[in-house]
């Protein structure tokens, strides 16, 4: 009985679908007929009406055939992933040389093809998608381009329980901007604190699990594990001959969001990272006195971030305001060797607690123009007395969605403990996109 009812429902549904399709076809044909009739009426007396109609039909057939042929040609590429390229060139002038600024770029005039990224993504199967970001960037000394896999990961799309698993090489979710690629930052350079405490982008080889809380309010939680964390040291943390479980990096993030009004938003999160046994990530670090060394034994990092945004519903393409701030506290444990001679008995363990932060505001007043200010403050992870500060006003001109110029001035000041000199720099960044690109959730 129930089966019969179901069959009947199915038949009714099919009938309605067919009726709908036929109704649409009738409407389209009626419209076409009206057009042809109207054209026939206005056709010149010398041209037979039937001939006009036949010619038009032939023309229409030709057009349809062209479309069919074109589709045949594109079919072999249907299985290719979506591919896009992002290019980024930075022209700069710095008042001091790299020996005085500690930068890996030279002072004076410099042109740097910072990156050429190829981004490819596609569904793997009904359960996962895959993506890869291959980056070629120019070496600061030789200008030779080196190719590196920035990201190559598999991401599930249909796990139950609001879960999503990512595996491979990817930018781990820590803080607000650590997992954003350079060209997507709202300013030219990555904030100092992210370079110092994370090591640039939050790259890791590992696993990451994200969970969306099943409640009406947005709450997202992420945990991850990987053999390194930070793009500046892409090699796994010193593996030795055997890496124990506590030799891995573990991180997590909890974030939430509030609509303050329809146009004002607040987003906030806390993050943490621990590597209980870093062994000697980065090796023995020579201290400014030129003798003593520090060797990292345990890495601990905590962060708090918030973003306050004005995104007017009506004209957010033309007007918006963002204020973002992130504060990080690094509490690394080191093996200190005062005379730099290993294993002579004078080594001791010490904790170095350091604080760093950045804060920026960016105001957009037209589809093309926006401007802002970035403030950076960071204490060295090895010596919290060593402080660096940056002040960076910037202005952005977006010729289009895929072509953007940004001019930034940065004044950097160091305190006496750093041994570095203050300097001034001007940057002109030109970033462009070709091919496929997506508006990702993380870049919102």
Partner 1 sequence: MKLKSLFVTLIALLCAAQVQAAKIRVVTTLTDLADFTRQVGGDHVEVFSLATGIEDTHGVPMKPSFVPKLNRADLVMNVGFGCEHAFLPALLEASKNPRIQDGHPGYVDCSVGITPMEVPLSTDHSQGDVHPYGNPHYMLDPVLAKTAVQNIYTALVATAPQYEADFRASRDAYLAKLDAKITEWQQLAAPLKGVKFVSYHEHWCYFASWLGMDYIGTIELKPGIDPTPRHITDLIAEMKAEHVPIVVREPQFPEKVPALIAKETGATLVKLPIMPGGVPNTGTYIEEMDYIVHTLVAAAQK
Interface with partner 1 by CB under 8 A: which range of 11-19, 86-94, 352-360, 387-395?
11-19
Q: How many residues does the chain have?
A: 444
313 binds partner 1 (CB under 8 A): yes
Positions 345 through 374 that interact with partner 1 (CB under 8 A): 366-368
Q: How far is CA 92 from CA 38, 60, 86, 111, 187, in A?
A: 65, 57, 20, 6, 14
Q: How far is the CB of 186 from partner 1 (least distance, A)?
A: 16
DSSP characters over 322-375: EEEEEEEEEEEEEEEETTS-TTSS--EEEEEEEEEEEEEEEEE-SSSEEEEEEE
Count of C-beta atoms within a 10 Å radius of residue 4: 8
Nearer to partner 1, 26 or 47 (CB): 26
Q: Report whether 94 contacts 423 (CB < 8 A).
A: yes
Decide if residue 184 touches partner 1 (CB under 8 A): no
| Binding-site member from 60, 141, 163, 286 for partner 1 (CB under 8 A) | 163
Q: Minimum distance from CB of 263 to partner 1 (Å)?
A: 9
Q: Which of 3, 75, 142, 214 binds partner 1 (CB under 8 A)?
A: 214
- Pick between residue 64 and residue 286 the one whose CB is nearest to partner 1: 64
Q: What span, in angstroms and rounded, lies between the C-alpha atoms of 102 and 106? A: 10
What separation, in Å, do the N-terminal and C-terminal C-alpha atoms of the chain show?
52
Give CA separation, 269 vs 119, 214, 227, 302, 331, in Å: 28, 18, 24, 11, 19
Tell me: does residue 65 bind partner 1 (CB under 8 A). no
Q: What is the nearest approach in angstroms of partner 1 to the Cβ of residue 152?
A: 18
Q: Counting contacts by CB under 8 A, is residue 212 touching partner 1?
A: yes
Size of site (CB under 8 A) for partner 1: 48
233-262 binders of partner 1 (CB under 8 A): 257-259, 262
Site for partner 1 in 68-127 (CB under 8 A): none
Closest CA to 417 of 388, 442, 374, 377: 388
Out of 7, 11, 13, 344, point to the residue binding partner 1 (CB under 8 A). Answer: 13
Q: Which residue number, 349 or 367, has a Cβ lying nearer to partner 1?
A: 367
How many whole angstroms separate alpha carbon 269 and alpha carbon 36? Answer: 63
> Is 30 a residue that touches partner 1 (CB under 8 A)?
no
Give the H or E element holding residue 425. strand 423-435
- Strands 293-310 and 128-138, by their bridges, are unpaired
Give the nearest distance from C-beta 60 to partner 1 in angstroms.
13
- From 48, 97, 353, 440, residue interacting with partner 1 (rule: CB under 8 A): 440
From 65, 146, 158, 385, residue interacting with partner 1 (rule: CB under 8 A)? 158
d(CA 195, CA 378): 10
Task: By CB under 8 A, tell whether 216 contacts partner 1.
Answer: yes
Q: Which residues in this chain contact partner 1 in the complex, by CB under 8 A?
A: 9, 12-13, 16-17, 20-21, 24, 27-28, 157-159, 162-164, 212, 214-218, 220, 257-259, 262, 265, 267, 311, 313-318, 366-368, 400-402, 434, 438-441, 444
């Amino acid at each position: 009985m129930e089966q019969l009812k179901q069959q009947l429902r199915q038949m009714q549904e099919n009938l309605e679908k067919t009726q709908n399709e036929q109704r649409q076809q009738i409407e389209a044909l009626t419209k076409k007929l009206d057009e042809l009739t109207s054209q026939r009426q206005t056709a010149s007396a010398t041209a037979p009406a039937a001939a006009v109609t036949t010619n038009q039909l032939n023309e229409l057939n030709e057009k349809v055939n062209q479309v069919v042929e074109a589709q045949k040609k594109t079919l072999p590429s249907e299985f290719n992933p979506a591919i896009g390229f992002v290019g980024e060139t930075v022209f700069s002038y710095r008042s001091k040389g790299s020996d005085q600024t500690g930068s890996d770029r030279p002072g004076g005039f410099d042109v740097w093809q910072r990156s050429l990224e190829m981004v490819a993504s596609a569904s793997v199967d009904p359960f996962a998608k895959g993506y890869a970001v291959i980056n070629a960037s120019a070496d600061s000394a030789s200008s030779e381009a080196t190719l590196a896999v920035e990201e190559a990961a598999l991401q599930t799309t249909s796990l139950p329980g609001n879960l999503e698993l990512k595996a491979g090489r990817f930018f781990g979710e820590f803080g607000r901007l650590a997992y954003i690629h350079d060209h997507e930052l709202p300013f030219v350079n990555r904030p100092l604190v992210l370079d110092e405490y994370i090591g640039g982008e939050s790259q890791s080889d590992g696993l990451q699990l994200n969970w969306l809380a099943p409640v009406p309010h947005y709450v997202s939680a992420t945990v991850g594990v990987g053999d390194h964390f930070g793009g500046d040291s892409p090699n796994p943390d010193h593996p030795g001959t055997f890496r124990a479980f506590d030799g891995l990096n573990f991180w997590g993030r909890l974030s939430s969001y509030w609509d303050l009004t329809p146009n004002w938003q607040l987003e906030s999160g806390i993050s943490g990272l621990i590597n209980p046994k870093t062994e000697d990530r980065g090796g023995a670090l020579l201290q400014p006195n030129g003798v003593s060394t520090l060797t990292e034994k345990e890495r601990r990092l905590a962060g708090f971030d918030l973003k306050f945004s004005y995104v007017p519903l009506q004209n957010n393409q033309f007007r918006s305001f963002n204020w973002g701030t992130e504060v990080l506290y690094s509490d690394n444990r080191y093996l200190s060797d005062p005379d730099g001679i290993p294993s002579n008995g004078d080594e001791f363990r010490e904790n170095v607690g350091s604080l760093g932060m950045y804060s920026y505001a960016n105001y957009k007043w037209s589809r093309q123009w926006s401007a802002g200010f970035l403030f950076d403050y960071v204490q060295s992870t090895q010596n919290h007395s060593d402080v660096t500060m940056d002040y960076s006003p910037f202005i952005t001109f977006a010729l289009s969605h895929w072509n953007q110029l940004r001019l930034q001035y940065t004044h950097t000041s160091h305190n006496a403990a750093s041994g570095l000199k203050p300097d001034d720099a001007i940057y002109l960044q030109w970033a462009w996109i070709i091919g496929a690109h997506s508006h990702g959730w993380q870049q919102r």
